[in-house]
Structure 1
């Protein structure tokens, strides 16, 4: 819409005010899509990630329009040097240049490297948006109607964030290699589905930072008030969280040591394709592939499938014959997050398959691409506390410390094409992938390369854990 509004019926190099007015007209939409959880998300049902992409796109559009407005003006004034020198000393022009500078600094501070590795600077640079609003309010009297509307939208977002989806809770933290396990107990149930995530604000680390984490536990009932998430060390916030958890472990903290946490969510769309019952009824072969921290998404799917198969009374037969769980990491010690639990699942599925030949088989493949010396490191025991109730305690899983043969670990790169052979005209294949974009792209290319003349029945769902 912006292109025809900008270009049709006007000559920008003679009068570029239209570009300036379009710039300020985007402010309500920009502020209305800001925030981790917004009123717009409540109304439209869009995920926070999609709204954030829309928010960033509007920001780039504003900078582009403001640049066109300023560049065309300067182009005309440059033909008259004395007029340009005089006009640059006026309050109107100086405030316009100041507002443009603030807008550019906000965009530079929101680039991917800054946003990921210097989150505090990213937040601080966004405060310059108030400098933009103040400067442009003086630059043109027509701006205030748009700015007041945008501020109203942002206030509604804050109210939606803190009073609609926000809830207080307590949590226990456990330090793992390069990650922190968070066990959260809520005051009221939180209805969530596979693939959804929550935003957490931990006052002990920061009062102002909200970060998304995938929910890994399975809701056992409508009254379940427990959550489990894993925070991988990637930025300053997760690094401080991990250091605080390590300090607690060194102090031999007891179970009464709890942190206060604010939980917002659940966020993210729920599709029927990731429903465990749908997967077991439609997919002959299920492939759950994860890379690095993307295993949190894959583990929740495996837990959902295991709960549906092992601990519930089934009225319908299971169409699935094989379940492949694949996890690849750079550091072998990261396997300690779920290696014990995966070994328990493998033993449980083997026992069930021996009793019933129609029961699906579970194949677990662990790959790592890092230093072979990391395999010699002693794998730390998984922490256990009273909140460890993500799975029903029955059968093999009720004996948490039973001696189970550890799963083998392969030092090789994961090859997605090994699982494409399961797709055929008579056998459906469901592939559920979570990892960084390059990892997901390999699966997308592999599915696209399949011979579709055979009417291959393939369902591919990719999630980017970034």
Structure 2
């Protein structure tokens, strides 16, 4: 059968009551469009709710005040409890495998069910005379999925804008919808092979039938893309993955375009249009923020607008600082950074650890391999110049960098009554700006601001680190935040503004006692001045890197490990820790205590459920839990939120308020 005869398949009848191929394609997108519309409605309601809370002058602005919002809160709590749940991790051959939350999994499974139903609806796949019909049907349904995959892949993401979700989360859906596409393409090819196999024509058709040859080539390329997109393979070499992904994508689209009949080529042009839109939008915005011609009023000279200093830090890390950057961002967002003079043709995503009011963009980059290691080597080579701390670094001692972004979305934290921030290791570069942003809003309100900038009353900040040398990462920022809160309390003692900070040290070789003693909680001297770093790579989630803190053990070289969960901080104030695993307070010097009087430093790891429960018991409205760190910590926090929501019967008539969870990971 040639391409001309195939062109009428879309309208050809496959029997009484069997819907046409074009009709099923439209029905598939009706389902997809309905799901996106539902997400858009929820996003709009959340935005209205946030605005309403910030305008509420009552003592409990984060508590529902109307029947509508009470009903909405109840429905939201029920959906959250189910969607946040996740299966326990599985350990095989020394490796731990984590699962995605049930909410995203349910969406992917729903898409899979819809696709398979449309593929086989009213067709008898056991009837050999219907195998061609199944082949045509699955082909039409397969190609109709292409636009969705491209919609989910772009950084300037239309779906993300509508539903309020960042591109890096949608990328997980992009990968799984691509796997669904591969499944239907395989079924499409399998039924044609099955039909040809009755007459032993498979090899003959592939040699002589051009349409079949092109289709088989498209399937081979798609199979290669799916295999190489698996996380273990991606992480072997991200730069290589990106390059081959782009090359194979072009080959796949070309093969599909050559294979598809003219009447369905529109399903190829649509995703190409989405790709062009994403690239053009990204390049136009990047041109604006990187070319100095658009920023002459800010005193920018030269061709490029952004120059950065690279400072080496302990722990094979680099602090990258861009003074007076030409973009604005929100706490928790990230950018893609390129420095061709150090790491040519490489672009890496990093969390922005500073706030716009700092008038500088700071990134903390851990040297792993590739471009990040080149950053550290360059900074180390020039450390006498760039590590001096001189803010007035000469221009010829900086490097031109190119910035793309910012990216990242989550619900504004200032709308919640209580905010719990939990970070593991380098994850603090995500939670620290969130903490500082809320405190800055509190401070601004005390300067005569007429409107309420934050409904938040309480902040619980927990940071889990592997070594006490990491305590200096954000000491200055913590001191500033605590000082601002004290000023707020003095300015308005009747206004509730509470913050509790805890740092947990899970493994520190300097805590090791002499051989004659088994105590591992000994006085610590000083909190170091030089901070270490954090790196956020969305393609390679750094929250899982080996230097992050996990709930497992450490000290493989025989050093002391304190990894037992501390269920109650107050109960262990006077105890010590033995190398058998009992938790203890990590004692800091008197000078450190004076500089951070409200900071609790402990040896061990936090018991997430207890930390969250204590805050929820005081909450007078909806609370937010934000976690950024290794998958073990994230899973523990997620399970704790689900357990506490069920235990407290959140928004089920008990008066207990809801809990919003944001798990900062690249996908799942």
Q: Please, what TM-score do these two structures have when normalized by structure 2?
A: 0.57
Once the 2 structures are TM-superposed, how far is the Cα of residue 63 of structure 1 from its aligned partner?
0.5
Report if the CA contact (8 A) 1:174-1:182 is conserved: yes
Query: Residues of 1 paired with 2:359 and 2:341: CA distance?
Result: 22
Q: Does 1:218 align with 2:355?
A: yes
Q: Could you tell which deviates more after superposition, 262-271 or 412-421?
A: 262-271
Report if the CA contact (8 A) 2:645-2:659 is conserved: no
Query: Residues of 2 paired with 1:164 and 1:43: CA distance?
Result: 20
Report if the CA contact (8 A) 1:179-1:230 is conserved: yes
Q: Does 1:90 align with 2:208?
A: yes
What does the per-residue CA deviation read over 1:20-56, in whole Å, with 9 as the maximum and x for residues that have no partner? 2332333333334433334665677652134423422
Q: Which runs of 5+ in 1 are unaligned?
A: 384-400
Match among 365, 369, 375 for residue 506 of structure 2: 369
Partner residue, 2:256: 136
Q: Could you tell which deviates more after superposition, 204-213 or 98-107?
A: 204-213
Match among 267, 271, 291 for residue 146 of structure 1: 267
Q: Please, what TM-score do these two structures have when normalized by structure 1?
A: 0.79
Query: Residues of 2 paired with 1:292 and 1:421: CA distance?
Result: 23
Q: Does 1:260 align with 2:400?
A: yes
The change in CA–CA distance for 1:405 and 1:268 in structure 2 (over 3 A counts) is closer
Query: Residues of 2 paired with 1:211 and 1:354: CA distance?
Result: 44
Once the 2 structures are TM-superposed, how far is the Cα of residue 64 of structure 1 from its aligned partner?
0.8
Q: Does 1:247 align with 2:247?
A: no
Report if the CA contact (8 A) 1:28-1:146 is conserved: yes
Partner residue, 1:156: 277
Q: Secondary structure at the match of 2:153?
A: coil
CA RMSD, aligned part only? 3.7
Q: Secondary structure at the match of 2:606?
A: coil
Q: Does 1:430 align with 2:630?
A: no
Partner residue, 1:392: none
Q: Does 1:410 align with 2:602?
A: yes
Q: Does 1:71 align with 2:190?
A: yes
Partner residue, 2:293: none
Once the 2 structures are TM-superposed, how far is the Cα of residue 69 of structure 1 from its aligned partner?
1.2
Query: Residues of 2 paired with 1:140 and 1:459: CA distance?
Result: 48
Q: Which runs of 5+ in 2 are unaligned?
A: 1-27, 29-114, 291-305, 513-523, 532-591
Partner residue, 2:554: none
Query: Residues of 2 paired with 1:84 and 1:189: CA distance?
Result: 58
Partner residue, 1:395: none
Question: Could you say which structure has the higher strand fraction?
Answer: 1
Q: Secondary structure at the match of 1:195?
A: coil
Match among 641, 645, 651 for residue 448 of structure 1: 645
Partner residue, 2:334: 197
Partner residue, 1:299: 432
Match among 132, 145, 156 for residue 37 of structure 1: 156
Report if the CA contact (8 A) 1:47-1:267 is conserved: yes
Report if the CA contact (8 A) 1:175-1:246 is conserved: yes
Matched residues, number: 437
Instruction: Give 1 or 2 for the bigger CA radius of gyration.
Output: 2
Once the 2 structures are TM-superposed, how far is the Cα of residue 458 of structure 1 from its aligned partner?
4.5
What does the per-residue CA deviation read over 1:297-323, in whole Å, with 9 as the maximum and x for residues that have no partner? 221122123323346415689986653
Query: Residues of 1 paired with 2:437 and 2:243: CA distance?
Result: 41
